[in-house]
């Protein structure tokens, strides 16, 4: 998100536009925690994870009264364009403000990659890289001790982190909420691998499927000799130095959002599809489910044999 903030601020200043940063999202808006930003405000942040503007949930902004209050505060501050970085909730808020007359643009900032009308969200590539690095380290241990590992990753409703990390790390099984799985088949595959001389096996589980501990227990009940160990990566996936891909994506999207506002556009979600920048009505974005990449899932299945 910092790379996106940096791009928005610098692109706006380049075009002679005054920029303000709102601390802690919609909660900060209602608290009027708003401060001017300049070039020095975003210096030395492109390589930092997280967000210098911080983040917070805001129940009040879910109400019509809270949304009207937010729009009134923006007008009183002389702010006529708002760029929001986040996931579905952030987009919903931007959509409401747009309907109240505030020009808004949404940037897809969520590691789950669950925003439609963009191939990738800001932070997704970094999260996948962190998972792959963790699996690489686990493989060293599993191979040395001739054991298997179940790795639980984030993805409550979207299994993209598990899918992409699984393909990149050569996982034997990838369990995602979009595709039903058979625990008997998973266990038998692990057993077959060991019988064929393989000394370790990796199963990646998206949290939306269930707990890694439960998956491991199901495997043990069917193949007691496998005895997989469980690793829950948790919030470690949300931190770390952003990848070059994420920095470039965020920079392109941030600059694009500023240019779209300057053109008078509003109520749009910015994204990148097949390398091209696109702006889609937020109404359409928040009411469309991201299509799961079955082609990549089937590739993972073929390569895991």
Does the annotation flag 6 for ligand binding? Answer: yes
Active site residue 112: yes
Does the annotation flag 88 for ligand binding? Answer: yes
- Report which of 197, 196, 186, 193 is spatially closest to residue 220, judged by C-alpha positions: 186
Does the annotation flag 281 for ligand binding? Answer: no
Does the annotation flag 223 for ligand binding? Answer: no
Does the annotation flag 139 for ligand binding? Answer: yes
Measured distance between the N- and C-terminal CA atoms of the chain, rounded to whole angstroms: 38
Does the annotation flag 79 for ligand binding? Answer: no
DSSP designation for 100: T
DSSP string, 149-175: EEEEES-SS--HHHHHHHHHHT-SEEE
- Report which of 144, 147, 114 is spatially closest to residue 231, judged by C-alpha positions: 147
Does the annotation flag 199 for ligand binding? Answer: yes
- Report which of 93, 87, 24 is spatially closest to residue 55, judged by C-alpha positions: 24
Does the annotation flag 40 for ligand binding? Answer: no
| Torsion sign, CA atoms 129, 130, 136, 142 | negative
DSSP designation for 36: E
Does the annotation flag 257 for ligand binding? Answer: no
Does the annotation flag 171 for ligand binding? Answer: yes
Does the annotation flag 8 for ligand binding? Answer: yes
Helices (H), 42-179: 64-76, 88-99, 124-145, 160-169
Q: Per the residue annotation, which of 33, 38, 72, 112 is the catalytic one? A: 112
Rounded Cα–Cα distance for residues 25 and 174 (Å): 35
Run of H or E residues at 205: strand 201-206
Does the annotation flag 189 for ligand binding? Answer: no
Binding positions for Mg(2+): 88
Residues making up the annotated binding site for ATP are 57-58, 87-90
Binding annotation for substrate? 110-112, 147, 154-156, 207, 229, 235-238
Q: Which residues are annotated as a binding site?
A: 6-10, 57-58, 87-90, 110-112, 139, 147, 154-156, 170-172, 198-200, 207, 229, 235-238
Residue positions annotated with a catalytic role: 112
């Amino acid at each position: 998100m910092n790379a996106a903030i940096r791009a928005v601020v610098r692109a706006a200043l380049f075009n002679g536009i005054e920029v303000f940063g709102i601390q802690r999202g919609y909660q900060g808006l209602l608290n009027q925690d708003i401060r001017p930003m300049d070039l020095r405000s975003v210096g030395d942040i492109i390589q930092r994870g997280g967000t210098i503007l911080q983040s917070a949930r805001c129940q009040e902004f879910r109400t019509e009264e809270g949304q009207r209050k937010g729009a009134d505060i923006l007008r009183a501050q002389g702010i006529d364009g708002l760029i929001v970085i986040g996931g579905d909730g952030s987009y919903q808020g931007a959509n409401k403000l747009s309907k109240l007359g505030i020009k808004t643009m949404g940037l897809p900032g969520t590691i789950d990659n669950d925003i439609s009308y963009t191939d990738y969200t800001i932070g997704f590539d970094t999260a996948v890289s962190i998972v792959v690095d963790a699996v690489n380290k686990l493989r060293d241990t599993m191979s040395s001790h001739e054991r298997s590992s179940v790795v639980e990753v984030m993805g409550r409703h979207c299994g993209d982190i598990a899918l992409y990390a699984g393909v990149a790390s050569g996982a034997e099984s990838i369990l995602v909420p979009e595709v039903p799985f058979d625990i008997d088949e998973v266990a038998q595959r692990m057993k077959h691998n060991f019988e064929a001389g393989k000394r370790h096996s990796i199963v990646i589980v998206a949290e939306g499927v269930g707990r890694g501990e439960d998956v491991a227990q199901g495997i043990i009940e069917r193949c007691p000799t496998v005895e997989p160990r469980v690793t829950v990566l948790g919030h470690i996936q949300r931190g770390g130095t952003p990848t070059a891909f994420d920095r470039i994506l965020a920079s392109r999207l941030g600059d694009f959002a500023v240019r779209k506002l300057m053109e008078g556009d509003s109520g749009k979600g910015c994204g990148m599809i097949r390398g091209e920048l696109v702006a889609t009505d937020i109404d359409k974005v928040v009411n469309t489910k991201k299509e799961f990449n079955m082609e990549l899932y089937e590739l993972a299945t073929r390569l895991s044999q």
